[in-house]
Amino acid sequence: MPLGRRRSEPSRAETAVNRRMFMKALALGMSVPAAMRLAKMATAATTTAPKRLLVVFIPHGTAPEHFMPKVTNYNPLAMANYTDFALDQTNVSILAPLQPYRSYVNVYQGFQYPGAADTHTGIVNCLSGTQYTDTTTARTSFEQVIAQALKVKPLILGACSHITNGLDLNGMLFWNGTPIDPEKNPAKAFDALFGNLGAAPPPNADVQLSKDLQAFTISEIQGLQTTLQGLTTEETKLATHLASAQQVLADQNTVMPPSACTMKPMLTSVEMVRSQSNGNVPDPGGGNDYFYMEKNFPLLFAAQLELVTQAIMCNAAPVIGLMPMYATCNFDFTFANAPGSHHLTLSHTTPGWNTTPPYGQYNSPVDIANLNPMTRMPFAIAQKWFWTQLVTKVIAPLATTDDPAAPGTKILDNTLIYVMSEIGDGNDHNRVSEILYPQTPDSLPLVTIGKAGGAITAGQVVQFPVADKSTAGNVNRPAADLYLTIAKAMGVANATFPGMTGVVPGVLT
C-alpha cells in the first residue's frame, strides 16, 4: 500500500450487514464469537451466503417408465429446458416425494458417463469425469475438487457402502487420488462434527506439534524416495504417499466455517446406532461387524441422513458425500415393501413391453409408454424408498428451516443436493442416455435439488437428446459438464474436469 494511504475502511453498507447479520445470528441462539465470525464471513463474501453441497448415490439406476418427469410437449430427441412438468404422474413416480419441492428441482436428461465400463464397475469413474476403469490410476471426484477449492474438508459418509472384507471396486465412488472409504459409523461422524461443541480448543502446543509432525514425516518420505531412486513403481507409490501426507498437513490448516449451533444436537437414529453398536468389534474380514450387516442398513441410512441434515444446518460440513449401499449390493428390500434382492432381483427385472398400438411396435414414438409399467413396479418402489427417505429427512427440513447465515432464505435455497446413480436403466446398465429397445427414452437419473444461494435456476427438466445407443455418445452431454456447472454454482471459478465441454446451458443464473 502506498505511503500515506490509509487502509480502506468498511463501507457503511458493509457495517450495516455486519451488524444485521450479527444480531440475527444472536437471535437464533448462536454464541457471540460464532455470530461475530459469521457476520464477518458473510461480509467478506460480499452478499453470498455460505453454500453447501451434498452428493447422494442411489445404486443400480432406475426404471425410466417410473422415473421420468411428465413433461408438457416433451421431445426426448431434442435439446430443451422444460419448466412445465410434474414429478408425480409417472406410474409409481419414483420422484413423487419431490413434487412439493418442484421449484427447487432440476432433472437432467440426455447425459452420459463417457468411455466403456463393465456394468456397475463403472462406478469407479462416474463422479470424476475420467474414463479409468481400473482401481489404482489416480482420479478425483468432483465434490473433492470443489472442497479443495473452497478449502474445506469434505465429509464422506456411507451406509453399508462396500463389501465386508474391504473396499471393492463397486464401492469406489468417491476418490481423492485414491479411493475413499466412506465413514460407516454415523455416531463416530457425529462425534467428530459436534463432539467438541462447547469444549475448549486443543492446547496450542499440540496444534503446532501436529504440523511439525507432518513436516517430519514428509521429510522421511522424501528421504526414502531418494534412497529408492530408480525403482520406478515404488517411487510412484511414495509420490502418492508424499502427496497424501502433504494433504494431511494442508487439512490441518483448513479453517472450517463457524458452526451455527452452540449445543450438541440430539439425533435419534444416530443415538440408536450408537447404542446398538456399542461393543462392536470391527470385523473387516467377516460379516459380524454391525456396520456391514444387511439388517442394520435401514437404520444406518436413516442415521446418516439425520447427520447430513444437521451438518448442513449447523454449517459443520459444507461439502458432503453420502453412499448408501454399493453397486451390485443384494440387500433384500422387503422392508421397503419391495421384496427381492436389490441388484439381482429388483434392478435386473427385465422391462415388459406394452404392445398396444401405437406402442411397443416398430417405429413407435419414443415414449416410456412403450413399456408395461406393471413389470418393474417392485424395483420402482425400492428406488422410490430412497427418495422418500431423502425428502423426509433432508430436503423437507432444509426447505422449511430459515438459514441463519442468510436472513430471508431457507437453508435449501443456499444448498445444492446432487443425486445420481452409476447407470441409467437398472437392467440395461447404460452409461449413455439412449433409446432403449423398444423406443423408450432412457437417461441417466441425475437430479439436483436446491438453488446454491441463487446460483442455480431450478424448476426445470434440462433435456439433451437421447439417441440410438450407437450414436447416443455423440448427442448426449457429458456428466462432467454438470460437475463444472455445480462447481461454478458453489463459487469455484476455475475447476476443470476431464471430458467437460462447458457449463450446462440455462442452469446457472
Partner 1 sequence: MTSRLTMAGLALAAAAGCAGAGQVGTGTGGNSGPGSGGIGNTSGSAGGTGTAGSGAGTGTAGAAGSSNPNFQLACSGPSMGRPFLRLLTPTELTNTLSDVFPEVKGMWTASLPASTISAHGFDNDGSAQVGAQLAGAIRDTGVALGTALVGTPLATILPCSTSSPNHACAETFLNKYGQRLFRRPITTAEHDKYLAFFDTSMGKSDFKTALKWMTVAMIQSPNTLYRSEIGTDSGGGMRQLSPYEVATELAYTYTGSTPTDSLISMAGSGSLGDPTSVAKTMLATTAGKQTLQRFFEQYLSYATVTSIQKPNISTFGSVSDDMVQETHSFIDQIVFQNAGGLKSLLTATTTNPSKALATYYGTGNANTVAFPTPSADYASVTRPSGQGIGLLAQGSFLATHAGADTSSPTQRGLFIFYKLFCQPKLTPPANVPPLDTTTQMTGINTTRDRYEMLHAGMNSTCSYCHKTFDPIGFGFEHFDEGGRYRAKEKTFDINSSGMISAPDGSTINFNGEEDLVTAVANQPVIHQCMSAYLAAFAYGSDEACLGASQVTALQSGSIGIAEAYARLAAEPHFTQRSSQ
Residues 343-372 that bind partner 1 (CB under 8 A): 343-345, 347-353, 355
Among 129, 186, 397, 465, binds partner 1 (CB under 8 A): 129
Q: Is position 427 an interface residue for partner 1 (rule: CB under 8 A)?
A: yes
Range 80-119, binding partner 1 (CB under 8 A): 116, 118-119
Among 75, 89, 136, 356, binds partner 1 (CB under 8 A): 136
As a whole number of angstroms, the distance between CA 463 and CA 13 comes to 42
Residue position matching grid coordinates 447404542: 275
Q: Is position 237 an interface residue for partner 1 (rule: CB under 8 A)?
A: yes
Q: Which is nearer to partner 1, 72 or 288 (CB)?
A: 288
Q: Which is nearer to partner 1, 26 or 242 (CB)?
A: 242
As a whole number of angstroms, the distance between CA 111 and CA 495 comes to 19
Residue position matching grid coordinates 475413499: 180
Q: Which is nearer to partner 1, 95 or 123 (CB)?
A: 123
Least Cα distance to 55 among 454, 348, 475, 479 occurs for 479
Give the nearest distance from C-beta 99 to partner 1 in angstroms. 29
Give the nearest distance from C-beta 472 to partner 1 in angstroms. 12
Give the nearest distance from C-beta 394 to partner 1 in angstroms. 24
Helix 232-252 and helix 204-227: axis angle, to 10°?
A: 170
Give the nearest distance from C-beta 36 to partner 1 in angstroms. 29
Among 43, 90, 91, 144, binds partner 1 (CB under 8 A): 144
As a whole number of angstroms, the distance between CA 464 and CA 434 comes to 11
Range 239-268, binding partner 1 (CB under 8 A): 239-241, 243-245, 247-248, 251
Among 209, 392, 502, 505, binds partner 1 (CB under 8 A): 209
Range 376-415, binding partner 1 (CB under 8 A): 378
Least Cα distance to 466 among 424, 433, 497 occurs for 433
**Cβ 492 vs Cβ 472: under 8 Å:** no
Per CB under 8 A, the segment of 67-75, 223-231, 268-276, 388-396 that binds partner 1 is 223-231
Q: Is position 137 an interface residue for partner 1 (rule: CB under 8 A)?
A: yes
Among 102, 162, 451, 488, binds partner 1 (CB under 8 A): 162
Q: Is position 457 an interface residue for partner 1 (rule: CB under 8 A)?
A: no
**Between the CA of residue 118 and those of 249, 444, 445, what are the distances in Å?**
37, 16, 18
**Between the CA of residue 174 and those of 201, 292, 339, 352, what are the distances in Å?**
31, 19, 29, 34
Half-sphere exposure of 302 (CA within 13 A, CB side): 15
Q: Which is nearer to partner 1, 373 or 397 (CB)?
A: 373
Range 184-203, binding partner 1 (CB under 8 A): 188, 203
Give the nearest distance from C-beta 63 to partner 1 in angstroms. 13
Q: Is position 177 an interface residue for partner 1 (rule: CB under 8 A)?
A: yes
Range 429-448, binding partner 1 (CB under 8 A): 429-431, 437-438
Among 75, 134, 195, 254, binds partner 1 (CB under 8 A): 134
Residue 19 exposed, middle or buried by CB count within 10 Å (0-12, 13-18, 19+): exposed
As a whole number of angstroms, the distance between CA 478 and CA 473 comes to 9
Q: Which is nearer to partner 1, 3 or 116 (CB)?
A: 116
User: 319-324 and 155-159 as β-strands: parallel, antiparallel, unpaired?
Assistant: parallel
Q: Is position 66 an interface residue for partner 1 (rule: CB under 8 A)?
A: no
# of chain residues touching partner 1 (CB under 8 A):
113
Print the binding letters for residues 264-293 with partner 1: x by CB under 8 A, - otherwise: ------------------xxxxxxxx--xx
As a whole number of angstroms, the distance between CA 326 and CA 345 comes to 15
As a whole number of angstroms, the distance between CA 489 and CA 34 comes to 26
| CA triple 132-136-138, angle to 5 deg | 70
Q: Is position 488 an interface residue for partner 1 (rule: CB under 8 A)?
A: no
**Cβ 148 vs Cβ 155: under 8 Å:** no
Per CB under 8 A, the segment of 14-22, 41-49, 205-213, 305-313 that binds partner 1 is 205-213
Q: Give alpha helix (H) positions in 391-462.
A: 396-400
* Neighbour count for residue 383 (Cβ, 10 Å): 31
Among 48, 99, 375, 401, binds partner 1 (CB under 8 A): 375
Q: What type of residue sits at position 503?
A: V
> What does the longest C-alpha to C-alpha distance in the chain come to?
85
Q: Which is nearer to partner 1, 286 or 408 (CB)?
A: 286
**Cβ 494 vs Cβ 484: under 8 Å:** no
Print the binding letters for residues 288-327 with partner 1: x by CB under 8 A, - otherwise: xx--xxxx--------------------------------
Dihedral sign, Cα of residue 82, residue 84, residue 88, residue 91: negative
Q: Is position 337 an interface residue for partner 1 (rule: CB under 8 A)?
A: no
Among 82, 108, 175, 386, binds partner 1 (CB under 8 A): 175
Among 339, 473, 491, 506, binds partner 1 (CB under 8 A): 339
Range 10-39, binding partner 1 (CB under 8 A): none
Write the CB contacts of 294 (distance below 8 Å, at least 6 apart in sequence): 160, 331, 332
Q: Which is nearer to partner 1, 132 or 388 (CB)?
A: 132
As a whole number of angstroms, the distance between CA 220 and CA 404 comes to 46
Among 18, 99, 164, 457, binds partner 1 (CB under 8 A): 164
As a whole number of angstroms, the distance between CA 434 and CA 441 comes to 6
As a whole number of angstroms, the distance between CA 185 and CA 503 comes to 36
Q: Which is nearer to partner 1, 419 or 495 (CB)?
A: 495
